[in-house]
Amino acid sequence: MIGRPPSSARSALFVHGPRGAFRWTAFVLAVTAFMAAVPTPLYPIYEKEFGFGPAVLGLVFGAYTVGVLTTLFLLAPNAERFGRRPLLGLGMGLTALGAVTFALATGVVWLAVGRVITGLAVGATTSVATAAMSDLEPHRDQHHVARVAVAANFGGFAVGVVMSGIVVQYAPYPTHLVYVLPILASAIGALALGATPETAAELGRPGRLGVQEIRVPASVRRPFWVAAGGIAACYAIYGFFAALAPSYLRTGLAIDSPAATGGVVGLMFGMAAITQLLTAQVRDRRALLVGFPLLLGTLVSLVLVISLTTWPPLVVVTAGLGAAVGLTFMGSTTLVDRVAPDEERGEILAGFYSAGYLSLAVPTIGVAEASEVVGITSAGALFGTVLAVAVTVLYVAIWRTPTPPGGGGRPRDPPAPYPRPRAAGAEVPGEPTLDR
């Protein structure tokens, strides 16, 4: 039931300390990224089993974006009325359903459907979980929320792809058994949600269902486009590594090992997550002033290394690329948080994340199609070159963009009680009002 308070027994089991509910909500967010990562070491196996090449794989991978944008624009904007816990529970259910779909896959269409369902889970969870974490963080420390949310995404993906690679290589039934992991994780997440308080402020409020709009005020467009370019570059690298790096390792380096694939891809995402957690004081414009040059240097190195037939240089470049992505992603998200007016935050963030998810699909599909013509190695080098040029333009742009006014770090507030759900139109004296 929407608005049902968590039982005391379940709360005692799952929630400990003032940040207990906050951490479990971050875990739910990480579970969807975990599931998105699990198929990665299996893509070469699927290519052999179902008889398709990198071009089709790019389309399958891009189907994920359709699912993300669907729930991000249709369901997430109504979370305040439906309740955040039910939508996060839906995300856990979709995560498990996506895993079942992959486990039962008998052809490429099944893989595409599984990717769409996984995207639906991510879209239903990402912004809703972050909003809930903002209210569950005892000090309302929005930079801490952003850092943990992004680290949960990258960290969940890193753990998922590494564990998947190990299971696929060393356990029986590689295309089936591995999907037990996200099913179990989503079940734990669903149980934990029952112990967390509902934080939506408008439960049951009547009115028409809303569709998320995209609107960027003229006063913040310059920093917005720099930040959107930064997250687009990060998601483009995300797509390349998750979808096509396994094919490159197999065909370019003759490494046909799911565990090695999981390790290389997991290294990039793991370094991004660690960088998020270790650079708490380097944010918005400052993070981009460091992140863009590092990203440029590692992309140039990737172009040089990808033509070699040895793996150690690739490992070094991958680690550096992960650190660059972590800084750039954090700088982009905190820059948007800094400049977005509270009353237009939803519209601005919708445009921001749309740029990221579209960049996850479009460059990945383009590189996959090009690889059918010139080979995966040449296509990867072309991808790195084009992205390096784009990052150079972004670096010049951020140098010419002064530190904008805005949140200024959105300082910590004193610890506040969890908001209690209320009936439509009811007023609760003394209850904190939530930002929407």
Q: What are the backbone angles phi and psi of residue 133, rounded to the nearest 5°?
A: -60, -35
**Domain at 17-195+218-399, CATH from 3.30.70.1050, 3.20.20.80, 3.30.1220.10, 1.20.1250.20:** 1.20.1250.20
Contact yes or no for 248/376 (Cβ under 8 A): yes
Domain edges within the chain: 17-195+218-399
What pLDDT score does 296 carry? 94
Q: Average pLDDT per run of 10 along the chain, which is 436 residues long? A: 48 57 91 94 90 87 90 81 87 96 95 96 88 82 80 93 94 93 96 83 64 84 92 90 80 85 92 86 82 93 84 90 92 84 80 89 85 83 90 91 59 47 36 30
* Count of other CB atoms within 10 angstroms of residue 104: 12
What pLDDT score does 429 carry? 29
CA distance 150 to 145: 9
The two three-digit tokens of residue 418, written as one number: 């969890």
What pLDDT score does 435 carry? 32
CA distances from 53 to 287, 329, 368, 376, 395 (A): 38, 31, 9, 11, 35
**Concatenated DSSP letters of 62-128:** HHHHHHHHHHHHHTGGGHHHH-HHHHHHHHHHHHHHHHHHHHT--SHHHHHHHHHHHHHHHHHHHHH
CA distance 47 to 54: 8
